[in-house]
Every structure is written in C-alpha cells, then in structure tokens.
C-alpha cells in the first residue's frame, strides 16, 4: 500500500483522539461541531485505517433515514479510501450500500433506522463489528434508539470503537446536547471542533469567506452553524437583534458629536470574572446608538492586580467607574489604586429595568476586540419551561458579567425621566 502521511488527512485537533484509538481501548467518541469541522471525515478515516490494521474488524454505519446514506456516509467513506490511496483494496455497492475490504472480505455495512428490527439479526461472516458509527446523531429520537443498536451489534469482540457525530441542535435541552454531558460512562470522550481547527486550505477561501460574512451579519446563526453551539431559539436570547459586531473607530472627545465615556465594572474571583467595560452613546440620524469599544476581565484576578487590568482600558483613570455595590471592600481597594469607583445604585427590578434600557437603544455596536461581551450577548437568555417550551419572562442569571458591568455604567439614566441627550 502507498504510504500516506496522516497529517494530510487528519486535522491536528483530532490527534489526541487518534492516539486514543491507537491504544486499542474500547471507547465511545462523541464528535460534535459546526460546518467544516471535519468530524465525519475523521470518523471515516479511522474506520478505514482500523479495518486495514485489524482483520477481524468490521463496521456498521447508521443514519436515521436510509435514503440519506448514499449521498452522505457512503461518499464520505469512499473519500477516505481515496485520500488514503487504498482504492485498489476496496470495492463497494450502492444497493445495498456496502464497502468490502478485498484482501479479507471485511465489511462496512450502512443502514438506516427506518426499520430497526432489521438490525437485530445483522451479522458478518468474519470477525465482528468493532466499529459503530452513528452519523447525524441529532436526527435520532433519543439515547434509547442508539442503545438498541448498540445492544444488537456490539458483541463477539473485546475491543470496540464507537463514533457519534452531530451538529448540536439549537435547543440546549435537545437530548443529544444533554446526553453528551452525562458523566456516568467512563469510556466516553466528548470532542468539539470547528472549521477554525482545520487547515484553511482544506476548506478553501469561499467557505471561510461565507463563514466570516455570516459572523458579521448574524452572529447567532454563525455560532450555531459554524461554531456548533446550542445557542437556543432566537426569541430566547435577551438581546437578539439588538446588537452587532462592528469594527469602528472611537471618535475623539473634541468632536462635537461625541458625548462622553461610561465605565462599568463587575467583581468576581474564583469562578466569575472581574470585568470592566467602556462605552459611549451617539445620536446618529435620529437613532440612539450604544457603542461598546473596550473590555477587560479575568477569573482569579487578585485585588492588587485589578488596577493593572483596569489600566488596559483607555481613559479608565479619568472617568467615574460604576461597580457592583454589593462588594464595598473591593470598591474601596480599587479606589485606593487611583480609580474613581462608586457603587452603582440597585433597586428591586434593577436587572429587568437595565435590560429594558439597553434594549431601548436602536443599535448596540460592539467592537470585535470585546470578545467576552460578544459571547455574553449571544448567550444571555430567558428561562424556558421544560414541559411546555414556553419562553418565560425570567432572565437566567448566567453569562452576564460584562452585561452587568454595562448596566452599572448606565445606572443613573435607567430610571431617569429625561433623555441622556438632554443633560449632555
């Protein structure tokens, strides 16, 4: 056989998984990710390699609907055979969809679960089903359906490798999103990859340009489709449709249409970050727009180091910083480091009032360097009733440290009877 460098067909992000499989241990590998993450290509490569190396190894590949096999998993497996330059050693049929390793007669059998009873009697003449691959696992009804296949197929051998590949559904409560978090299985590996983990020349300029364009136009769709994240329903996200990532230049304070800077801080340490956010407001063509142009933050930041972190945000020592008033000792400590820090006023319903005020802006523009603020804006969400799937008017207290800092910065105007532009 022709020697092929695996570096040309396996992305670096999968090297640890490849090494784990090479140890010949029984393992269940959940490969999730977005478009272009090459997770299915990796599974196909590993199955072909495994069959060549082990004369007793056969493979069963399962999809929910059998009609999708010929244009998906079969083509992916044939691609893997071609990339490994072992075409002469394999033959295939499309009906039924099967691939045979000619030197030994080992089989890759592909089935749909349209009729699950057919899988109960499935077998091979030689060896056993060492490899089991569930492609597009989110299409299955649940873990029970997958478990039925496992119980029917995974027998007769002592080493098994299972691949479960899928793009995470948008709903965080979807069964496959919940199941991958199940810690009860010691042999389960959950692996997440995206197109950013893949050598760009494998994907091409058009693919990457399309991804980046969607990132700018609809960050929520980008995070779901390309980053493989369960971002939830659009209406569940608190600030959906209210903000945009924009690479803008902050105008000079001397310019007439510049208003002023606002600074807000939130305090954390062990699990939550200490944060600082800078912003300003512009009245443009009759629209009131909020610009967030700088952020700083980190988990585990010592009190003595907060000043250094704050100084990374321009002008932070010149302007008042409104911080979370529940930590007066932190406010006092940071004030002694030369910052004008005050506790932001709070009241019953201040979170909801602050969110409503932020939503009152025509646009919230966030500079790309404010990575954590952008992440929170995509994930800050309302609770969903588990039984009815109704979106509740209750905001989840998570993914909100930079958002809270933004609320604190504008606290004086949230309940004011006058527009901010009336007093500037």
Distances from the Cα of 419 to the Cα of 82, 102, 172, 405, 415, angstroms: 66, 78, 38, 21, 10
Residues 67, 98, 135, 136: which is the catalytic one?
Answer: 136
Q: Comparing C-alpha atoms, which of 22, 25, 119, 108 is closest to residue 73?
A: 108
56 near 130, Cβ under 8 Å?
A: yes
Q: What share of the chain is helix, strand, coil (3-state, %, to 5)?
A: 35, 25, 40
Q: Do the strands 57-63 and 27-33 form a parallel or antiparallel pair, or are they unpaired?
A: unpaired
Q: How far apart are CA 164 and CA 189, in angstroms?
A: 10
Q: What are the φ/ψ torsions at residue 135 (nearest 5 degrees)?
A: -95, 145
Tell me 10's DSSP state: S
Q: Comparing C-alpha atoms, which of 69, 126, 120 is closest to residue 100?
A: 126
279 near 288, Cβ under 8 Å?
A: no
How big is the chain, counted in residues? 424
Burial bucket for residue 33 (CB in 10 Å: 0-12, 13-18, 19+): buried
136 tagged catalytic: yes
133 near 21, Cβ under 8 Å?
A: no
Active site residues: 136
């Amino acid at each position: 056989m022709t020697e092929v460098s695996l570096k040309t067909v396996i992305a670096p992000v999968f090297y640890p998984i490849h090494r784990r499989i090479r140890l010949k241990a029984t393992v269940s590998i959940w490969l999730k990710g977005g478009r272009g993450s090459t997770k299915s290509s990796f599974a196909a490569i590993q199955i072909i390699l495994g069959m060549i190396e082990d004369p007793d190894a056969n493979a069963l590949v399962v999809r929910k609907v059998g009609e999708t096999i010929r244009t998906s998993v079969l083509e992916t497996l044939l691609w893997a055979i071609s990339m490994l330059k072992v075409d002469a050693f394999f033959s295939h049929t499309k009906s039924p969809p099967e691939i045979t390793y000619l030197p030994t007669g080992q089989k890759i059998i592909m089935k749909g679960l349209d009729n699950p009873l057919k899988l109960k009697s499935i077998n091979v003449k030689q060896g056993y089903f060492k490899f089991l691959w569930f492609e597009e696992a989110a299409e299955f009804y649940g873990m029970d359906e997958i478990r039925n296949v496992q119980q029917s197929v995974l027998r007769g051998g002592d080493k098994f490798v299972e691949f479960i590949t899928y793009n995470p559904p948008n709903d965080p409560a979807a069964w496959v999103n919940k199941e991958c978090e199940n810690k009860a299985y010691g042999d389960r590996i959950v692996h997440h990859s995206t197109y950013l983990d893949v050598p760009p020349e494998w994907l091409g300029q058009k693919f990457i340009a399309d991804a980046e364009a969607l990132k700018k136009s609809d960050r929520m769709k980008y995070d779901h489709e390309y980053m493989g994240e369960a971002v939830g329903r659009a209406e569940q996200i608190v600030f959906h449709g209210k903000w945009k990532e924009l690479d803008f230049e902050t105008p000079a304070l001397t310019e007439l249409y510049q208003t002023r800077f606002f600074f807000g801080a939130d305090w954390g340490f062990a699990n939550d970050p200490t944060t600082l956010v800078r912003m300003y407001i512009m009245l443009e063509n009759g629209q009131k727009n909020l610009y967030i142009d700088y952020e700083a933050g980190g988990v585990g930041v010592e009190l003595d180091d907060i000043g250094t972190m704050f100084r990374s945000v321009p002008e932070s020592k010149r302007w008042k910083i409104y911080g979370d008033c529940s930590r007066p000792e932190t406010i006092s400590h940071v004030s002694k480091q030369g910052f004008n820090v005050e506790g932001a006023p709070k009241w019953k319903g201040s979170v909801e009032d602050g969110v409503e005020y932020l939503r009152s802006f025509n646009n919230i523009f966030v500079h790309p360097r404010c990575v954590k603020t952008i992440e929170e804006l995509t994930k800050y969400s309302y609770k969903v009733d588990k039984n009815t799937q109704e979106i509740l008017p209750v905001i989840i207290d998570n993914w909100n440290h930079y958002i809270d800092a933004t609320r604190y910065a504008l606290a004086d105007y949230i309940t004011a009877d006058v527009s901010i532009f009336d007093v500037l």
